[in-house]
Amino acid sequence: MLSILTSQGFPKSIAMTILSELGDRTFCVAAILAMRYPRKSVLLGCLVSVIATTIISALLGWAAPTLLSEKWTHHITTLLFFGFGLRSLWEGFTEDDDDNEELEEVEKELEKDLKTSAAKSKAISKEDENLKKQHKPFLTRFVSPVFLKAFSLTFFGEWGDKSQLATIGLAADEDVFGVIMGGVLGQAICTVAAVLGGKSLASRISERLVTILGGFLFLAFGVQSLLSPS
Protein backbone atom coordinates (compact mmCIF):
# COMPACT_ATOMS: atom_id res chain seq x y z
CA MET A 1 0.00 0.00 0.00
CA LEU A 2 2.80 2.42 0.92
CA SER A 3 4.58 1.73 -2.36
CA ILE A 4 1.39 2.60 -4.25
CA LEU A 5 0.97 5.89 -2.39
CA THR A 6 4.59 6.84 -2.96
CA SER A 7 4.56 5.95 -6.66
CA GLN A 8 4.45 8.80 -9.18
CA GLY A 9 1.13 7.59 -10.52
CA PHE A 10 -0.74 8.42 -7.30
CA PRO A 11 0.04 12.16 -6.93
CA LYS A 12 -0.04 12.67 -10.70
CA SER A 13 -3.47 11.09 -10.91
CA ILE A 14 -4.88 13.16 -8.04
CA ALA A 15 -3.58 16.45 -9.42
CA MET A 16 -4.64 15.68 -12.99
CA THR A 17 -8.11 14.54 -11.95
CA ILE A 18 -8.88 17.51 -9.72
CA LEU A 19 -7.71 20.08 -12.27
CA SER A 20 -9.59 18.28 -15.05
CA GLU A 21 -12.84 17.82 -13.15
CA LEU A 22 -13.26 21.03 -11.15
CA GLY A 23 -15.95 23.08 -12.83
CA ASP A 24 -16.33 20.73 -15.79
CA ARG A 25 -19.56 19.29 -17.15
CA THR A 26 -19.95 16.37 -14.74
CA PHE A 27 -19.08 18.63 -11.80
CA CYS A 28 -21.93 20.94 -12.81
CA VAL A 29 -24.28 18.00 -13.31
CA ALA A 30 -23.61 16.78 -9.76
CA ALA A 31 -24.05 20.28 -8.34
CA ILE A 32 -27.38 20.90 -10.07
CA LEU A 33 -28.80 17.44 -9.39
CA ALA A 34 -27.96 17.85 -5.69
CA MET A 35 -30.15 20.95 -5.60
CA ARG A 36 -33.17 19.13 -7.03
CA TYR A 37 -32.96 15.63 -5.62
CA PRO A 38 -31.84 13.96 -2.36
CA ARG A 39 -28.12 14.59 -1.99
CA LYS A 40 -27.40 11.12 -0.71
CA SER A 41 -28.74 9.43 -3.86
CA VAL A 42 -27.02 11.94 -6.14
CA LEU A 43 -23.70 11.57 -4.33
CA LEU A 44 -23.87 7.78 -4.37
CA GLY A 45 -24.79 7.65 -8.05
CA CYS A 46 -22.04 10.05 -9.07
CA LEU A 47 -19.41 8.34 -6.91
CA VAL A 48 -20.17 4.86 -8.23
CA SER A 49 -20.03 6.24 -11.76
CA VAL A 50 -16.68 8.02 -11.42
CA ILE A 51 -15.13 5.06 -9.62
CA ALA A 52 -16.27 2.77 -12.43
CA THR A 53 -14.96 5.05 -15.20
CA THR A 54 -11.64 5.54 -13.39
CA ILE A 55 -11.07 1.80 -12.99
CA ILE A 56 -12.09 1.07 -16.59
CA SER A 57 -9.82 3.83 -17.91
CA ALA A 58 -6.85 2.72 -15.82
CA LEU A 59 -7.27 -0.90 -16.88
CA LEU A 60 -7.41 0.16 -20.53
CA GLY A 61 -4.14 2.03 -20.04
CA TRP A 62 -2.61 -0.91 -18.19
CA ALA A 63 -3.53 -3.22 -21.08
CA ALA A 64 -2.17 -0.86 -23.74
CA PRO A 65 1.47 -2.10 -23.57
CA THR A 66 0.25 -5.62 -24.35
CA LEU A 67 -1.31 -4.36 -27.58
CA LEU A 68 1.54 -2.04 -28.52
CA SER A 69 5.16 -2.15 -27.51
CA GLU A 70 6.08 -0.48 -24.23
CA LYS A 71 8.23 2.01 -26.14
CA TRP A 72 5.40 3.10 -28.43
CA THR A 73 2.98 3.30 -25.53
CA HIS A 74 5.40 5.62 -23.73
CA HIS A 75 5.77 7.85 -26.80
CA ILE A 76 2.00 8.03 -27.34
CA THR A 77 1.47 8.91 -23.68
CA THR A 78 4.05 11.69 -23.93
CA LEU A 79 2.36 13.13 -27.02
CA LEU A 80 -1.01 12.83 -25.28
CA PHE A 81 0.19 14.93 -22.34
CA PHE A 82 1.67 17.59 -24.60
CA GLY A 83 -1.49 17.61 -26.73
CA PHE A 84 -3.79 18.02 -23.74
CA GLY A 85 -1.52 20.66 -22.25
CA LEU A 86 -1.38 22.80 -25.38
CA ARG A 87 -5.10 22.39 -26.00
CA SER A 88 -5.97 23.37 -22.43
CA LEU A 89 -3.76 26.46 -22.59
CA TRP A 90 -5.27 27.44 -25.94
CA GLU A 91 -8.79 27.08 -24.54
CA GLY A 92 -7.88 28.93 -21.36
CA PHE A 93 -6.27 31.91 -23.07
CA THR A 94 -8.56 32.25 -26.10
CA GLU A 95 -12.06 31.47 -24.85
CA ASP A 96 -14.46 34.08 -23.46
CA ASP A 97 -14.33 35.11 -19.83
CA ASP A 98 -17.76 33.60 -19.11
CA ASP A 99 -16.77 31.10 -16.42
CA ASN A 100 -20.38 30.04 -15.90
CA GLU A 101 -20.98 29.00 -19.51
CA GLU A 102 -20.65 25.27 -18.76
CA LEU A 103 -22.89 25.56 -15.71
CA GLU A 104 -25.57 27.46 -17.61
CA GLU A 105 -25.48 24.97 -20.48
CA VAL A 106 -25.87 21.98 -18.17
CA GLU A 107 -28.62 23.72 -16.21
CA LYS A 108 -30.60 24.42 -19.39
CA GLU A 109 -30.30 20.82 -20.54
CA LEU A 110 -31.41 19.43 -17.18
CA GLU A 111 -34.26 21.96 -17.00
CA LYS A 112 -35.43 20.90 -20.44
CA ASP A 113 -35.27 17.25 -19.43
CA LEU A 114 -37.21 18.00 -16.24
CA LYS A 115 -39.96 19.82 -18.16
CA THR A 116 -40.24 16.97 -20.65
CA SER A 117 -40.58 14.44 -17.85
CA ALA A 118 -43.20 16.58 -16.11
CA ALA A 119 -45.22 16.90 -19.32
CA LYS A 120 -45.17 13.15 -19.82
CA SER A 121 -46.24 12.57 -16.23
CA LYS A 122 -49.27 14.84 -16.63
CA ALA A 123 -50.31 13.01 -19.77
CA ILE A 124 -50.39 9.65 -18.00
CA SER A 125 -53.79 8.65 -16.65
CA LYS A 126 -54.31 7.01 -13.28
CA GLU A 127 -54.81 3.61 -14.89
CA ASP A 128 -51.60 4.00 -16.83
CA GLU A 129 -49.86 5.09 -13.63
CA ASN A 130 -50.98 1.95 -11.81
CA LEU A 131 -49.88 -0.18 -14.75
CA LYS A 132 -46.53 1.59 -14.80
CA LYS A 133 -45.99 0.85 -11.11
CA GLN A 134 -46.63 -2.82 -11.73
CA HIS A 135 -44.12 -2.94 -14.57
CA LYS A 136 -41.29 -0.78 -13.28
CA PRO A 137 -37.94 -0.93 -15.07
CA PHE A 138 -35.81 -3.75 -13.72
CA LEU A 139 -33.05 -1.59 -12.22
CA THR A 140 -35.45 0.72 -10.38
CA ARG A 141 -36.55 -2.26 -8.30
CA PHE A 142 -33.14 -2.25 -6.64
CA VAL A 143 -31.93 1.37 -6.79
CA SER A 144 -33.69 4.71 -6.88
CA PRO A 145 -34.36 6.55 -10.16
CA VAL A 146 -32.30 9.47 -8.81
CA PHE A 147 -29.30 7.17 -8.35
CA LEU A 148 -29.68 5.90 -11.92
CA LYS A 149 -30.04 9.42 -13.27
CA ALA A 150 -26.92 10.64 -11.46
CA PHE A 151 -24.98 7.53 -12.48
CA SER A 152 -25.92 7.64 -16.16
CA LEU A 153 -25.40 11.39 -16.62
CA THR A 154 -22.00 11.21 -14.94
CA PHE A 155 -20.88 8.01 -16.65
CA PHE A 156 -21.68 9.14 -20.18
CA GLY A 157 -20.40 12.63 -19.40
CA GLU A 158 -17.04 11.20 -18.35
CA TRP A 159 -16.77 8.76 -21.24
CA GLY A 160 -14.31 10.04 -23.81
CA ASP A 161 -13.51 13.31 -22.07
CA LYS A 162 -10.05 14.69 -21.38
CA SER A 163 -9.66 13.26 -17.89
CA GLN A 164 -10.54 9.74 -19.02
CA LEU A 165 -8.08 9.77 -21.90
CA ALA A 166 -5.40 11.23 -19.64
CA THR A 167 -6.06 8.48 -17.08
CA ILE A 168 -5.59 5.87 -19.80
CA GLY A 169 -2.30 7.46 -20.81
CA LEU A 170 -1.11 7.81 -17.23
CA ALA A 171 -1.94 4.19 -16.37
CA ALA A 172 0.00 3.05 -19.43
CA ASP A 173 3.12 4.77 -18.11
CA GLU A 174 2.79 4.58 -14.32
CA ASP A 175 1.74 2.13 -11.61
CA VAL A 176 -1.87 1.27 -12.43
CA PHE A 177 -2.94 0.87 -8.80
CA GLY A 178 -1.50 4.26 -7.90
CA VAL A 179 -3.34 5.80 -10.84
CA ILE A 180 -6.61 4.16 -9.80
CA MET A 181 -6.32 5.23 -6.17
CA GLY A 182 -5.29 8.75 -7.09
CA GLY A 183 -8.03 9.05 -9.70
CA VAL A 184 -10.73 7.71 -7.40
CA LEU A 185 -9.64 10.03 -4.58
CA GLY A 186 -9.51 13.04 -6.90
CA GLN A 187 -12.90 12.23 -8.38
CA ALA A 188 -14.37 11.71 -4.92
CA ILE A 189 -13.07 15.09 -3.72
CA CYS A 190 -14.58 16.88 -6.72
CA THR A 191 -17.88 15.00 -6.52
CA VAL A 192 -18.35 15.61 -2.79
CA ALA A 193 -17.48 19.29 -3.29
CA ALA A 194 -20.02 19.57 -6.12
CA VAL A 195 -22.82 17.86 -4.20
CA LEU A 196 -22.24 19.74 -0.95
CA GLY A 197 -21.36 23.08 -2.53
CA GLY A 198 -24.09 22.99 -5.13
CA LYS A 199 -24.61 25.64 -7.77
CA SER A 200 -23.13 28.41 -5.61
CA LEU A 201 -19.74 26.67 -5.50
CA ALA A 202 -19.85 25.69 -9.17
CA SER A 203 -20.55 29.29 -10.20
CA ARG A 204 -17.58 30.59 -8.20
CA ILE A 205 -15.00 28.28 -9.75
CA SER A 206 -13.04 29.97 -12.52
CA GLU A 207 -13.16 27.37 -15.26
CA ARG A 208 -10.66 29.40 -17.26
CA LEU A 209 -8.10 29.44 -14.44
CA VAL A 210 -8.53 25.73 -13.76
CA THR A 211 -8.12 25.01 -17.48
CA ILE A 212 -4.89 27.02 -17.65
CA LEU A 213 -3.48 25.36 -14.52
CA GLY A 214 -4.43 21.98 -15.94
CA GLY A 215 -2.67 22.86 -19.18
CA PHE A 216 0.58 23.63 -17.38
CA LEU A 217 0.23 20.43 -15.36
CA PHE A 218 -0.20 18.34 -18.51
CA LEU A 219 2.85 20.01 -20.07
CA ALA A 220 4.86 19.23 -16.93
CA PHE A 221 3.78 15.59 -17.18
CA GLY A 222 4.77 15.63 -20.85
CA VAL A 223 8.24 17.00 -20.11
CA GLN A 224 8.75 14.50 -17.31
CA SER A 225 7.61 11.66 -19.56
CA LEU A 226 9.87 12.87 -22.38
CA LEU A 227 12.92 12.95 -20.13
CA SER A 228 12.23 9.61 -18.48
CA PRO A 229 13.51 6.43 -20.14
CA SER A 230 10.94 4.59 -22.26
pLDDT digits (tens, 9 = 90+) for 125-136: 444 555 444 445
pLDDT for the residue 131: 45
The list of the chain residues with pLDDT below 70 reads 1-7, 96-104, 113-142, 199, 202-203, 229-230
Residue 42 vs residues 32, 45, 101, 191, 210: alpha-carbon distances, Å:
10, 5, 22, 10, 24
Backbone angles phi, psi at 175, to 5 degrees: -65, 120
pLDDT for the residue 221: 85
pLDDT digits (tens, 9 = 90+) for 140-187: 555 788 898 889 888 888 887 778 888 888 888 888 899 999 999 999
pLDDT for the residue 197: 84
pLDDT for the residue 118: 53
pLDDT for the residue 5: 57
HSE-up of 161 (CA within 13 Å, CB side)?
Answer: 18
Tell me if residue 215 falls in helix, strand or coil: helix
| Secondary structure element (H or E) that encloses residue 199, with its range | helix 176-204
